[in-house]
Amino acid sequence: MIKKGKSPTENKKVAKAKEIKEKSSIEKIKVPNDEAPKKERGKTGMYHDIKDLAQKKLSKLEYENQLKNMDYEKVMTGHGYMTDGIIGGFAASIHKMEYTFFKQVLLGVLSGFIIGFGYTACTYAVMSLGGDNAAMMERMIMAIIFPFCIVLITFLGGGLYTSHVLATIPTMKGAVKIDHYIRGIFGVLLGNILGTGIFVSIAAMAGILEDSVFLGKAHDIGIHKLYNIGHVIDEHKYTEEILSDLFPNLSQEAKDRILQLKSAQDFDTPGFDITIKDVVLTMLFCLGSGILCNIMVSSTLPLTASTKNSSTTVIIICLPIFLFVMMGLQHGPANTFFLWIFVWELFLNAGQDGFHVNTQMVIIGSFIFANVIPTLIGNWIGGGIVLPGLLHLINIKYTSVYFAKTKYDMDHHTDEY
Protein backbone atom coordinates (compact mmCIF):
# COMPACT_ATOMS: atom_id res chain seq x y z
CA MET A 1 0.00 0.00 0.00
CA ILE A 2 1.44 3.36 -1.10
CA LYS A 3 1.26 6.33 1.24
CA LYS A 4 -0.33 9.41 -0.15
CA GLY A 5 1.85 12.58 -0.02
CA LYS A 6 0.68 15.75 1.63
CA SER A 7 -0.79 18.44 -0.49
CA PRO A 8 1.08 21.71 -1.06
CA THR A 9 -1.38 23.50 1.20
CA GLU A 10 -0.74 21.07 4.05
CA ASN A 11 3.03 21.41 3.58
CA LYS A 12 2.74 25.18 3.89
CA LYS A 13 0.73 24.84 7.12
CA VAL A 14 3.34 22.47 8.64
CA ALA A 15 6.21 24.79 7.66
CA LYS A 16 4.39 27.78 9.14
CA ALA A 17 3.71 25.95 12.42
CA LYS A 18 7.36 24.87 12.61
CA GLU A 19 8.53 28.46 12.02
CA ILE A 20 6.23 29.80 14.79
CA LYS A 21 7.47 27.10 17.18
CA GLU A 22 11.16 27.90 16.48
CA LYS A 23 10.54 31.63 16.85
CA SER A 24 8.79 31.05 20.17
CA SER A 25 11.67 28.97 21.53
CA ILE A 26 14.26 31.63 20.53
CA GLU A 27 12.27 34.39 22.20
CA LYS A 28 12.29 32.43 25.44
CA ILE A 29 16.09 32.78 25.79
CA LYS A 30 16.32 36.35 24.53
CA VAL A 31 16.03 39.40 26.72
CA PRO A 32 12.40 40.40 26.14
CA ASN A 33 11.64 43.51 24.13
CA ASP A 34 9.18 46.25 24.97
CA GLU A 35 6.25 44.25 23.51
CA ALA A 36 6.69 41.41 26.05
CA PRO A 37 4.80 41.49 29.34
CA LYS A 38 6.57 43.50 32.06
CA LYS A 39 6.60 40.62 34.52
CA GLU A 40 8.28 38.24 32.04
CA ARG A 41 10.80 40.89 30.93
CA GLY A 42 11.74 41.67 34.52
CA LYS A 43 12.43 38.04 35.38
CA THR A 44 14.38 37.33 32.20
CA GLY A 45 16.38 40.56 32.44
CA MET A 46 17.23 39.83 36.05
CA TYR A 47 18.32 36.32 35.06
CA HIS A 48 20.71 37.66 32.43
CA ASP A 49 22.04 40.35 34.79
CA ILE A 50 22.75 37.76 37.47
CA LYS A 51 24.30 35.44 34.90
CA ASP A 52 26.62 38.20 33.58
CA LEU A 53 27.53 39.27 37.11
CA ALA A 54 28.30 35.68 38.11
CA GLN A 55 30.42 35.22 34.99
CA LYS A 56 32.40 38.39 35.72
CA LYS A 57 32.82 37.38 39.36
CA LEU A 58 34.01 33.93 38.31
CA SER A 59 36.48 35.41 35.81
CA LYS A 60 37.81 37.79 38.47
CA LEU A 61 38.21 34.95 40.98
CA GLU A 62 40.01 32.83 38.39
CA TYR A 63 42.30 35.77 37.53
CA GLU A 64 43.03 36.50 41.18
CA ASN A 65 43.73 32.82 41.76
CA GLN A 66 46.25 32.90 38.91
CA LEU A 67 47.93 35.95 40.44
CA LYS A 68 47.96 34.31 43.86
CA ASN A 69 49.61 31.13 42.59
CA MET A 70 52.00 32.87 40.20
CA ASP A 71 55.72 32.12 40.48
CA TYR A 72 56.70 35.69 41.33
CA GLU A 73 60.43 35.18 40.83
CA LYS A 74 59.90 34.39 37.15
CA VAL A 75 58.29 37.79 36.68
CA MET A 76 60.88 39.70 38.72
CA THR A 77 64.16 38.30 37.40
CA GLY A 78 65.89 36.61 34.51
CA HIS A 79 64.88 38.89 31.63
CA GLY A 80 68.05 40.96 31.18
CA TYR A 81 69.40 44.17 32.73
CA MET A 82 66.73 46.51 31.36
CA THR A 83 63.64 44.47 32.30
CA ASP A 84 64.98 43.32 35.67
CA GLY A 85 66.09 46.88 36.37
CA ILE A 86 62.78 48.60 35.65
CA ILE A 87 60.73 45.98 37.54
CA GLY A 88 63.15 46.27 40.48
CA GLY A 89 63.03 50.06 40.22
CA PHE A 90 59.24 50.08 40.28
CA ALA A 91 59.32 47.67 43.23
CA ALA A 92 61.66 50.00 45.14
CA SER A 93 59.51 53.06 44.39
CA ILE A 94 56.34 51.24 45.47
CA HIS A 95 58.01 50.20 48.72
CA LYS A 96 58.96 53.84 49.38
CA MET A 97 55.28 54.81 49.30
CA GLU A 98 54.44 52.46 52.19
CA TYR A 99 56.07 54.63 54.87
CA THR A 100 53.97 56.91 57.06
CA PHE A 101 54.05 60.67 56.45
CA PHE A 102 56.31 61.26 59.46
CA LYS A 103 58.85 58.71 58.25
CA GLN A 104 58.71 60.16 54.74
CA VAL A 105 59.69 63.53 56.22
CA LEU A 106 62.53 61.92 58.21
CA LEU A 107 63.83 60.17 55.09
CA GLY A 108 63.74 63.51 53.27
CA VAL A 109 65.56 65.31 56.10
CA LEU A 110 68.35 62.72 56.00
CA SER A 111 68.80 63.24 52.25
CA GLY A 112 68.64 67.02 52.69
CA PHE A 113 71.51 66.83 55.17
CA ILE A 114 73.60 64.78 52.74
CA ILE A 115 72.90 67.23 49.89
CA GLY A 116 74.03 70.05 52.20
CA PHE A 117 77.33 68.28 52.86
CA GLY A 118 77.78 67.66 49.14
CA TYR A 119 77.17 71.23 47.98
CA THR A 120 79.30 72.65 50.79
CA ALA A 121 82.19 70.41 49.69
CA CYS A 122 81.61 71.42 46.04
CA THR A 123 81.62 75.13 46.93
CA TYR A 124 84.88 74.86 48.88
CA ALA A 125 86.44 72.88 46.02
CA VAL A 126 85.67 75.49 43.33
CA MET A 127 85.73 78.81 45.19
CA SER A 128 89.40 79.54 44.45
CA LEU A 129 89.22 78.76 40.73
CA GLY A 130 89.86 81.55 38.25
CA GLY A 131 90.81 82.15 34.64
CA ASP A 132 89.11 81.58 31.31
CA ASN A 133 88.30 77.91 31.94
CA ALA A 134 87.03 78.41 35.50
CA ALA A 135 83.37 77.70 34.66
CA MET A 136 84.17 74.39 32.94
CA MET A 137 86.53 73.33 35.71
CA GLU A 138 83.84 74.14 38.30
CA ARG A 139 81.36 71.84 36.59
CA MET A 140 83.93 69.08 36.24
CA ILE A 141 84.89 69.19 39.94
CA MET A 142 81.26 69.35 41.10
CA ALA A 143 80.34 66.47 38.76
CA ILE A 144 83.02 64.35 40.43
CA ILE A 145 82.05 65.25 44.03
CA PHE A 146 78.24 65.41 43.92
CA PRO A 147 77.56 61.76 42.90
CA PHE A 148 78.85 60.67 46.30
CA CYS A 149 75.75 62.32 47.81
CA ILE A 150 73.48 59.93 45.89
CA VAL A 151 75.70 56.98 46.83
CA LEU A 152 75.37 57.90 50.52
CA ILE A 153 71.61 58.36 50.21
CA THR A 154 71.30 54.96 48.48
CA PHE A 155 73.21 53.05 51.15
CA LEU A 156 71.96 55.00 54.18
CA GLY A 157 68.35 54.75 53.02
CA GLY A 158 67.36 58.40 52.68
CA GLY A 159 64.58 59.60 50.41
CA LEU A 160 64.68 62.09 47.54
CA TYR A 161 61.69 63.67 45.80
CA THR A 162 63.39 62.98 42.46
CA SER A 163 63.47 59.21 43.03
CA HIS A 164 60.08 59.00 44.78
CA VAL A 165 58.32 60.27 41.64
CA LEU A 166 59.22 57.00 39.88
CA ALA A 167 56.11 55.63 41.62
CA THR A 168 53.88 57.73 39.31
CA ILE A 169 53.34 55.00 36.69
CA PRO A 170 52.63 52.30 39.33
CA THR A 171 50.09 54.69 40.89
CA MET A 172 48.38 55.18 37.52
CA LYS A 173 48.21 51.40 37.16
CA GLY A 174 46.62 50.95 40.59
CA ALA A 175 49.67 49.37 42.24
CA VAL A 176 49.95 52.31 44.69
CA LYS A 177 47.06 54.03 46.44
CA ILE A 178 46.69 57.68 45.43
CA ASP A 179 46.69 58.93 49.03
CA HIS A 180 49.89 56.96 49.72
CA TYR A 181 51.48 58.47 46.61
CA ILE A 182 50.58 62.04 47.60
CA ARG A 183 51.72 61.39 51.17
CA GLY A 184 55.04 59.99 49.96
CA ILE A 185 55.81 62.67 47.38
CA PHE A 186 54.98 65.70 49.52
CA GLY A 187 56.32 64.15 52.73
CA VAL A 188 59.76 63.48 51.30
CA LEU A 189 59.82 66.86 49.50
CA LEU A 190 59.05 68.64 52.76
CA GLY A 191 61.83 66.62 54.38
CA ASN A 192 64.31 67.54 51.64
CA ILE A 193 63.57 71.26 52.09
CA LEU A 194 63.78 71.03 55.89
CA GLY A 195 66.97 68.96 55.68
CA THR A 196 68.89 71.48 53.56
CA GLY A 197 67.53 74.31 55.74
CA ILE A 198 68.64 72.66 58.99
CA PHE A 199 72.06 71.91 57.49
CA VAL A 200 72.62 75.52 56.36
CA SER A 201 71.49 76.77 59.78
CA ILE A 202 73.95 74.47 61.58
CA ALA A 203 76.64 75.52 59.08
CA ALA A 204 75.95 79.15 60.02
CA MET A 205 76.29 78.23 63.71
CA ALA A 206 79.58 76.48 62.88
CA GLY A 207 80.94 79.69 61.34
CA ILE A 208 81.03 78.41 57.76
CA LEU A 209 78.91 81.32 56.50
CA GLU A 210 81.32 83.77 58.18
CA ASP A 211 83.75 82.91 55.40
CA SER A 212 82.93 85.68 52.93
CA VAL A 213 84.68 83.88 50.06
CA PHE A 214 82.61 80.72 50.62
CA LEU A 215 79.38 82.69 51.02
CA GLY A 216 80.10 84.75 47.92
CA LYS A 217 80.80 81.66 45.82
CA ALA A 218 77.67 79.86 47.05
CA HIS A 219 75.70 83.03 46.24
CA ASP A 220 77.12 83.14 42.70
CA ILE A 221 76.34 79.46 42.02
CA GLY A 222 72.76 80.02 43.15
CA ILE A 223 72.35 83.21 41.09
CA HIS A 224 73.58 81.47 37.93
CA LYS A 225 70.74 78.96 38.33
CA LEU A 226 68.33 81.84 37.65
CA TYR A 227 69.37 82.17 33.99
CA ASN A 228 67.97 85.47 32.59
CA ILE A 229 67.01 86.84 36.00
CA GLY A 230 70.47 85.91 37.23
CA HIS A 231 72.05 87.84 34.37
CA VAL A 232 70.17 90.99 35.43
CA ILE A 233 71.28 90.52 39.05
CA ASP A 234 74.86 89.90 37.91
CA GLU A 235 74.78 93.10 35.85
CA HIS A 236 73.68 95.00 38.94
CA LYS A 237 76.51 93.41 40.95
CA TYR A 238 79.15 94.19 38.31
CA THR A 239 77.93 97.78 38.06
CA GLU A 240 78.50 98.16 41.79
CA GLU A 241 82.01 96.69 41.43
CA ILE A 242 82.81 99.12 38.58
CA LEU A 243 81.68 102.06 40.72
CA SER A 244 84.00 100.88 43.49
CA ASP A 245 86.92 100.65 41.06
CA LEU A 246 86.28 104.06 39.48
CA PHE A 247 85.40 105.88 42.69
CA PRO A 248 87.17 104.14 45.60
CA ASN A 249 86.29 106.98 48.00
CA LEU A 250 82.59 106.98 47.11
CA SER A 251 80.38 106.13 50.08
CA GLN A 252 78.14 103.05 50.01
CA GLU A 253 75.08 105.27 50.30
CA ALA A 254 76.10 107.18 47.17
CA LYS A 255 76.71 103.93 45.27
CA ASP A 256 73.28 102.63 46.21
CA ARG A 257 71.68 105.89 45.11
CA ILE A 258 73.40 105.71 41.71
CA LEU A 259 72.30 102.08 41.25
CA GLN A 260 68.72 102.99 42.09
CA LEU A 261 68.72 105.88 39.63
CA LYS A 262 70.30 103.68 36.97
CA SER A 263 67.67 100.96 36.84
CA ALA A 264 64.56 101.86 38.85
CA GLN A 265 62.07 104.68 38.77
CA ASP A 266 60.69 103.83 42.20
CA PHE A 267 63.44 104.27 44.80
CA ASP A 268 61.75 101.70 47.08
CA THR A 269 62.44 98.85 44.63
CA PRO A 270 65.75 96.99 44.61
CA GLY A 271 66.83 98.42 41.27
CA PHE A 272 66.62 95.42 38.94
CA ASP A 273 65.26 95.73 35.39
CA ILE A 274 63.67 92.26 35.54
CA THR A 275 61.11 91.98 32.73
CA ILE A 276 58.23 89.56 32.21
CA LYS A 277 60.28 88.02 29.41
CA ASP A 278 63.15 87.35 31.83
CA VAL A 279 60.79 85.65 34.29
CA VAL A 280 59.02 83.51 31.65
CA LEU A 281 62.27 82.41 29.98
CA THR A 282 63.86 81.58 33.34
CA MET A 283 60.86 79.45 34.30
CA LEU A 284 60.90 77.64 30.94
CA PHE A 285 64.65 77.01 31.18
CA CYS A 286 64.24 75.60 34.70
CA LEU A 287 61.30 73.43 33.63
CA GLY A 288 63.18 71.93 30.68
CA SER A 289 66.36 71.54 32.69
CA GLY A 290 64.41 69.81 35.47
CA ILE A 291 62.94 67.31 32.98
CA LEU A 292 66.35 66.37 31.61
CA CYS A 293 67.88 66.26 35.09
CA ASN A 294 65.45 63.73 36.50
CA ILE A 295 65.58 61.49 33.46
CA MET A 296 69.13 60.91 34.67
CA VAL A 297 68.60 60.99 38.45
CA SER A 298 65.53 58.70 38.51
CA SER A 299 67.42 56.19 36.37
CA THR A 300 69.52 55.34 39.44
CA LEU A 301 66.64 53.21 40.83
CA PRO A 302 66.34 50.81 37.86
CA LEU A 303 70.11 50.85 37.41
CA THR A 304 70.81 49.78 40.99
CA ALA A 305 68.04 47.16 40.79
CA SER A 306 69.70 45.57 37.75
CA THR A 307 72.68 44.36 39.80
CA LYS A 308 73.31 42.82 43.22
CA ASN A 309 76.99 43.78 43.36
CA SER A 310 77.73 46.71 45.73
CA SER A 311 80.81 47.90 43.83
CA THR A 312 78.89 47.91 40.56
CA THR A 313 76.07 49.81 42.26
CA VAL A 314 78.44 52.62 43.29
CA ILE A 315 79.82 52.93 39.76
CA ILE A 316 76.48 52.93 37.94
CA ILE A 317 75.01 55.48 40.37
CA CYS A 318 77.86 57.88 39.64
CA LEU A 319 77.44 57.76 35.85
CA PRO A 320 74.03 59.51 35.42
CA ILE A 321 74.73 61.92 38.31
CA PHE A 322 78.03 62.93 36.71
CA LEU A 323 76.22 63.65 33.44
CA PHE A 324 73.46 65.85 34.91
CA VAL A 325 75.89 67.90 37.06
CA MET A 326 78.34 68.28 34.18
CA MET A 327 75.50 69.63 32.01
CA GLY A 328 74.48 72.08 34.74
CA LEU A 329 70.91 70.72 34.93
CA GLN A 330 68.47 71.69 37.68
CA HIS A 331 67.73 69.38 40.63
CA GLY A 332 64.84 70.78 42.71
CA PRO A 333 65.68 69.39 46.18
CA ALA A 334 69.39 70.23 45.76
CA ASN A 335 68.56 73.80 44.67
CA THR A 336 66.87 74.43 48.03
CA PHE A 337 70.40 74.48 49.52
CA PHE A 338 71.01 77.77 47.69
CA LEU A 339 67.56 79.04 48.65
CA TRP A 340 68.55 78.71 52.31
CA ILE A 341 71.89 80.39 51.57
CA PHE A 342 69.94 83.40 50.24
CA VAL A 343 67.70 83.38 53.32
CA TRP A 344 70.71 83.39 55.64
CA GLU A 345 72.26 86.23 53.62
CA LEU A 346 69.09 88.19 54.38
CA PHE A 347 69.58 87.57 58.11
CA LEU A 348 73.26 88.45 57.93
CA ASN A 349 72.44 91.70 56.08
CA ALA A 350 69.57 92.61 58.42
CA GLY A 351 71.56 95.51 59.87
CA GLN A 352 72.15 97.11 56.47
CA ASP A 353 69.97 99.65 54.67
CA GLY A 354 66.60 98.84 53.18
CA PHE A 355 68.02 98.81 49.66
CA HIS A 356 70.16 95.72 50.34
CA VAL A 357 67.37 93.98 52.28
CA ASN A 358 64.89 94.56 49.42
CA THR A 359 67.46 93.29 46.94
CA GLN A 360 67.81 90.06 48.88
CA MET A 361 64.03 89.68 49.09
CA VAL A 362 63.78 89.92 45.30
CA ILE A 363 66.46 87.23 44.92
CA ILE A 364 64.66 84.89 47.35
CA GLY A 365 61.26 85.42 45.70
CA SER A 366 62.70 84.96 42.22
CA PHE A 367 64.48 81.78 43.24
CA ILE A 368 61.34 80.23 44.73
CA PHE A 369 58.92 81.06 41.92
CA ALA A 370 61.21 81.09 38.87
CA ASN A 371 63.58 78.27 39.82
CA VAL A 372 62.48 75.87 42.57
CA ILE A 373 58.81 75.43 41.59
CA PRO A 374 59.36 75.00 37.79
CA THR A 375 62.33 72.72 38.48
CA LEU A 376 60.27 70.47 40.76
CA ILE A 377 57.55 70.24 38.10
CA GLY A 378 60.18 69.39 35.49
CA ASN A 379 61.70 66.76 37.79
CA TRP A 380 58.25 65.17 38.17
CA ILE A 381 57.71 65.05 34.40
CA GLY A 382 61.16 63.64 33.63
CA GLY A 383 61.39 61.11 36.45
CA GLY A 384 57.71 60.32 36.89
CA ILE A 385 56.44 60.16 33.30
CA VAL A 386 59.12 60.25 30.59
CA LEU A 387 61.72 57.68 31.70
CA PRO A 388 59.47 55.19 33.57
CA GLY A 389 56.76 55.58 30.93
CA LEU A 390 59.16 54.60 28.14
CA LEU A 391 60.60 51.68 30.10
CA HIS A 392 57.09 50.49 31.02
CA LEU A 393 55.93 50.51 27.40
CA ILE A 394 59.06 48.69 26.26
CA ASN A 395 58.65 46.00 28.94
CA ILE A 396 54.84 46.05 29.19
CA LYS A 397 54.63 42.25 28.92
CA TYR A 398 56.27 41.96 32.33
CA THR A 399 55.46 45.26 34.03
CA SER A 400 51.70 44.89 33.47
CA VAL A 401 51.76 41.48 35.19
CA TYR A 402 53.88 42.91 38.00
CA PHE A 403 51.45 45.80 38.54
CA ALA A 404 48.47 43.41 38.58
CA LYS A 405 50.17 41.15 41.11
CA THR A 406 51.17 44.13 43.27
CA LYS A 407 47.63 45.52 43.13
CA TYR A 408 46.26 42.13 44.23
CA ASP A 409 48.72 42.01 47.15
CA MET A 410 47.86 45.60 48.08
CA ASP A 411 44.12 44.83 48.12
CA HIS A 412 44.68 41.89 50.48
CA HIS A 413 47.41 43.37 52.69
CA THR A 414 47.66 46.90 54.16
CA ASP A 415 51.13 47.16 55.67
CA GLU A 416 52.51 50.58 56.62
CA TYR A 417 55.92 51.16 58.11
pLDDT at residue number 342:
95
pLDDT tens digit sequence for 350-393: 555 555 667 788 899 999 999 999 999 999 999 999 999 999 99
In a domain, 67, yes or no: no
- Whether residue 151 is predicted with pLDDT greater than 80 in this model: the reply is yes
Q: What is the DSSP string of 29-74?
A: HSPP-TTS-HHHHHHHHHHHHHHHHHHHHHHHHHHHHHHHTS-HHH
Average confidence score pLDDT of the chain: 81
In a domain, 134, yes or no: yes
Least confident of 76-80, 173-177, 233-237, 241-245: 241-245
pLDDT at residue number 49:
58
pLDDT tens digit sequence for 211-247: 989 999 999 999 999 999 988 887 765 555 555 555 5
What's the first-to-final CA gap in the chain, in angstroms? 96
In a domain, 3, yes or no: no
In a domain, 187, yes or no: yes
Contact 410, 177 (CB under 8 A): yes
SS3 395: coil
Distances (CA, A) of 39 to 32, 51, 105: 10, 18, 62
**Domains held by the chain: number:** 1
Distance CA 151, CA 322 (A): 12
In a domain, 34, yes or no: no
In a domain, 55, yes or no: no
Distances (CA, A) of 224 to 121, 276, 349, 363, 367: 18, 18, 21, 12, 11
CATH number of the domain within which 188 lies: 1.20.1080.10
In a domain, 97, yes or no: yes
**Domain that residue 381 falls in:** 79-411
In a domain, 14, yes or no: no
